[in-house]
Each structure stands twice: as C-alpha cells, then as structure tokens.
Amino acid sequence: MTEVDRLRYLRVLLVIAGLACLALYPLMVFWPSGWAWHVGHSDYQMMIVGFYATLGVFLILAARNPLANLSLIWFAVWSSVVHAGIMAVQAVSQPGKMGHLAGDVPALFIVAIALAILTPRSREQPADEKLGSRNVQLPGAS
C-alpha cells in the first residue's frame, strides 16, 4: 500500500470512527447489554457520551488533514486501548457485563488497531501529496 493510499484510507477511517463516537448514545439506548454500563440514568454515562461526542467531532475534522492532527489520532488510539482494556477486565469480572465483550470492547480495539496501522509515524507528507513541492529559493536564503 502506498503512503497516498494509506492517507486516503486513514481519512475514511477517521470519519467512520468519528461517526461511531457520535453514535454512542443511540447504541447505549438500543443495545444496552453491549454498550451501556448502568441501567437507567447515569451521570457517568452522560460524561462518557459527551467525551466521545467531542472526540468524534474532532476525528471527523482531523480527516481533512490527518498529518496536522497526529497527536489527536494517537490519543484516540491509546485512549481506546486503555479504555477497552479496562472494560474487558470489568466485563469478565462483573456478573452480567459479558455482553460488552461483543460490543464496546472489540469496537474500541478494532478502531485503535486500524488507526494505528494507517497513521503515519511522522508528519512527513508523501511526495505525491505535497502542495507546491517545487523547490523555491527565497531571496537571501542559501
């Protein structure tokens, strides 16, 4: 896969991941055994929904220029791994929470792995993507 293709796929994945973050609340309502950790109203769940909605918006915005948003993307990767790891342990250790192993836990791991595979390790743009890649010498510059 070329670097240009990688960036194209990354842009698509950022939009998909962002939309998935925005879909968290509906998922909690319609599939609570896989996405909601509390029955009924929970201040904690609303905080998580708010956090992921915000992250979702910024992931969608990052799709415009992933190379300028590497810190955000890597935050999404590592926070997803940590969050999924903690939830996996909780799902296994708490009665009635095993449904999360088929819902939010694998979703976070899958998004984290896909983002990690597609995200460049540096801000260097592929030659095909550089805008104005002509060598322009400024007066007085050597």
CB distance 105 to 91 below 8 Å: yes
Q: What is the CA radius of gyration of the chain?
A: 19
On whether residue 132 sits in a domain, the answer given is: no
Per the structure, the complete domain to which residue 63 belongs is given by 3-121
Residues recorded for the chain? 142
On whether residue 127 sits in a domain, the answer given is: no
What is the pLDDT confidence band of residue 54, given thresholds at 50, 70 and 90? very high
Checking if the pLDDT of 104 tops 50, the result is yes
Average pLDDT over the chain reads 86
On whether residue 73 sits in a domain, the answer given is: yes
Checking if the pLDDT of 135 tops 70, the result is no
Checking if the pLDDT of 131 tops 80, the result is no
DSSP three-state, residue 96: coil
For residue 113, what are the contacts with CB-CB under 8 A and spacing of at least 6?
none
On whether residue 128 sits in a domain, the answer given is: no
On whether residue 85 sits in a domain, the answer given is: yes
On whether residue 135 sits in a domain, the answer given is: no
Higher pLDDT, 134 or 71: 71
Higher pLDDT, 35 or 18: 18
On whether residue 138 sits in a domain, the answer given is: no
On whether residue 126 sits in a domain, the answer given is: no
Give how many domains the chain has, as a whole number.
Answer: 1
Nearest to 88 by CA among 49, 34, 50, 22: 34
Mean pLDDT of 77-93: 94
Structure tokens that stand for 43 in this block: 């201040």
Identity of residue 22: L
State percent of the chain over pLDDT 70.
87
For residue 85, what are the contacts with CB-CB under 8 A and spacing of at least 6?
none
Question: What single-letter DSSP state applies at residue 67?
Answer: G
